[in-house]
C-alpha cells in the first residue's frame, strides 16, 4: 500500500479537534499522521507574528478595531521544502499539497517552488477557494489517503471535496480593500453606498453576491441563501459557521440555519473561528457559512 501524505495551510480553517491524534512535523502544525498544516505569518504594524504566538489573537483584534495596518504573507518556499523533506524522511511515497486559491495568495506558487528538490512526487492542488470549503477538500484527501488511495485518487478527492457552498458576510469591505483581496470597483461601490455585502468565492476570487443596505436585510438574505444551499443537500447535511472572537453569535446563527431546513433531518453544525490569516483580511464582525456538498465515497485502492 502506498503512503500518501497531505499538506495544507492554515487558511483551510480546519477544526481544532480534527483529527485527534497528534504528531509533530518541523515547520508545521500536524494534528495527525500524514497531515501537515503550514502556517502563514500575520504582520501587525510591521511586526511579524508566527501562527503559534500566544499574543497574536489579542494583538490582531486590537489592531483591527483601531484600523491599524494588518497584513499577511505567504509561506516561503523553504517552509514547504522543510515540511516535504520531513515527510519524505518519514517514509511517505508521495505528497498532495492542498492550498487556498492562487487568486487570493501566492501560497500555491511557494509550494510549487518548494517541491523542486524533493525526491518523492509532490502534487500541488490549487483549491480555488478558502476557509472550510478548502478544509473539506483537505479532509477528503487525508481520508482517501488513509484508505490506501493512490496519489491521483487523493488529488481527485481534494478537488471534489472543495466544491461546497461558501457564503461570507462582512460589515464593511474596507479590510478586504486594504489587503487587495477584492476588486477595486466592488470596494468603491461598497464604500459609497455603505452596503452590508454578501460575498462568495467564484473562479477562485471573492465575488459579490448581493448588497443589502442594512444589517437586518443582510442577515435575512444570508439566512435564505444558506438555507437554500442546505436544502439542496440530500444526505448527511453539515454546515460550518466561521466567526472572529464571537462564538455565541456563531452558534446562534448555525442553529437558526439548521432549524430552517425542511424535513426534520438533523443537521451537523460545526462552529470554527477564522484563523488569523483570514481574520486579517475580513475584519471584525465577519460571518461565514460553508454548506458541505454531499460527498461521494472515494474508492479504496487495491
- Whether residue 156 sits in one domain with residue 14: yes
Going by C-beta distance under 8 Å and a sequence separation of 6 or more, which residues neighbour residue 3?
Answer: 34, 91, 92, 93, 94, 145
HSE of 27 in the Cβ direction (CA atoms, 13 Å)?
Answer: 15
In this predicted structure, what is the pLDDT of residue 302?
A: 37
Residues 191 and 139 in one domain: no
Residue 297, pLDDT score: 46
Domain finish residue from 100, 127, 161: 161
**pLDDT-based confidence at residue 241 (cuts at 50, 70, 90):** very high
Instruction: Please count the structural domains in the chain.
Output: 2
Residues 188 and 85 in one domain: no
- Position 27 pLDDT exceeds 90: no
Task: Give the residue numbers spanning the domain of 226.
Answer: 165-291
Among the candidates 99, 133, 161, a domain finishes at 161
Q: 146 and 201: one domain?
A: no
Grid coordinates representing 61? 483584534
Q: What is the pLDDT of residue 84?
A: 97
Task: Note whether residue 44 is domain-resident.
Answer: no
Is there a domain that residue 64 lies in? Answer: no
56 part of a folded domain: no
Residues 289/253, Cβ–Cβ less than 8 Å: yes
Domain end (from 161, 189, 211): 161
The CATH number for 112's domain is: 3.40.50.10170
What pLDDT, on the 0 to 100 scale, is given for residue 186? Answer: 67
**Strand partners of residue 124:** 97
> 146-161 in b/e burial notation, b at 16+ Cβ within 10 A?
beebbbebbbbbbbbb
Q: What is the pLDDT of residue 299?
A: 41
Confidence class for position 300, pLDDT limits 50, 70, 90: very low
Q: Based on the domain organization, do 150 and 19 belong to the same domain?
A: yes
- For the chain, the straight-line distance linking the first and the last C-alpha, in angstroms and rounded, comes to 8
Cell of 252: 446562534
Q: Look at strands 268-273 and 47-49 and give their pairing.
A: unpaired
The mean of the pLDDT values for the chain is 85
Residue 217 has pLDDT above 50, yes or no: yes
What is the arithmetic mean of pLDDT over 196-204? 90
Mean pLDDT to the nearest integer, 184-194: 66
CA dihedral 282, 283, 289, 295 (to 10 degrees): 40
94 with 231, same domain: the answer is no
Domain membership flag for residue 286: yes
121 plus 173 within the same structural domain: no
Look at residue 193 and tell me whether its pLDDT is greater than 70. Answer: no
Specify if 55 maps to a domain. no
The DSSP bridge partners found for residue 271 are 241
Asked if 192 and 282 sit in the same domain, the reply is: yes
Whether 181 is in a domain gets the answer yes
The number of helices, as runs of H, and strands, as runs of E, in the chain is 10, 14
In 102-193, DSSP assigns E strands to 122-126, 165-169
Q: Mind listing the pLDDT tens digit for each residue in 270-290? A: 999 888 888 888 888 889 999
Q: Does residue 174 lie in a domain region? A: yes
User: What is the distance between the alpha carbons of residues 260 and 46, in angstroms, rounded to a whole number?
Assistant: 44
C-alpha cell at 179: 489587503
Same domain, 213 and 240: yes
With respect to residue 50, please indicate whether it lies within any of the assigned structural domains. Answer: no
| Residues 148 and 178 placed together within one structural domain of the fold | no
- CATH number of the domain that residue 275 is part of: 3.30.1180.10
For the cut 50, the answer to whether the pLDDT of residue 26 exceeds it is no
Grid coordinates given for 203:
473562479
157 and 171 fall within a common domain: no
Residues 8, 156, single domain; the answer is yes
Amino acid at each position: 500500500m502506498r503512503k500518501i501524505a497531505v499538506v495544507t495551510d492554515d487558511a483551510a480553517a480546519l477544526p481544532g479537534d480534527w483529527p485527534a491524534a497528534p504528531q509533530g512535523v518541523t515547520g508545521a502544525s500536524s494534528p495527525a499522521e500524514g497531515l501537515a498544516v503550514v502556517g502563514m505569518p500575520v504582520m501587525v504594524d510591521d511586526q511579524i507574528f508566527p501562527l503559534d504566538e500566544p499574543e497574536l489573537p489579542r494583538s490582531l483584534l486590537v489592531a483591527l478595531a483601531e484600523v491599524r495596518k494588518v497584513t499577511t504573507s505567504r509561506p516561503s518556499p523553504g517552509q514547504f521544502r522543510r515540511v516535504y523533506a520531513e515527510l519524505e524522511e518519514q517514509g511517505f511515497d508521495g505528497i498532495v499539497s492542498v492550498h487556498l486559491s492562487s487568486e487570493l495568495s501566492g501560497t500555491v506558487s511557494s509550494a510549487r517552488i518548494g517541491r523542486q528538490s524533493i525526491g518523492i512526487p509532490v502534487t500541488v492542488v490549487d483549491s480555488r477557494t478558502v476557509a472550510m470549503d478548502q478544509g473539506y477538500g483537505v479532509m477528503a484527501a487525508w481520508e482517501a489517503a488513509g484508505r490506501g488511495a493512490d496519489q491521483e485518487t487523493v488529488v481527485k478527492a481534494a478537488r471534489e471535496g472543495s466544491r461546497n457552498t461558501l457564503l461570507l458576510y462582512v460589515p464593511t469591505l474596507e479590510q478586504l480593500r486594504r489587503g487587495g483581496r477584492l476588486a477595486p470597483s466592488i470596494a468603491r461601490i461598497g464604500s459609497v453606498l455603505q452596503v452590508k455585502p454578501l460575498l462568495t468565492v467564484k473562479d477562485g476570487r471573492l465575488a459579490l453576491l448581493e448588497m443589502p443596505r442594512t444589517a437586518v436585510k443582510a442577515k435575512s438574505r444570508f439566512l435564505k441563501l444558506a438555507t437554500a444551499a442546505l436544502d439542496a443537500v440530500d444526505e448527511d447535511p453539515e454546515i460550518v459557521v466561521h466567526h472572529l472572537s464571537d462564538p455565541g453569535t456563531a452558534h446562534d446563527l448555525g442553529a437558526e440555519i439548521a432549524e430552517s431546513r425542511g424535513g426534520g433531518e438533523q443537521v451537523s453544525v460545526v462552529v470554527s473561528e477564522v484563523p488569523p490569516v483570514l481574520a486579517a483580511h475580513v475584519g471584525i464582525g465577519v460571518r461565514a457559512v460553508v454548506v458541505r456538498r454531499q460527498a461521494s465515497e472515494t474508492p479504496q485502492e487495491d
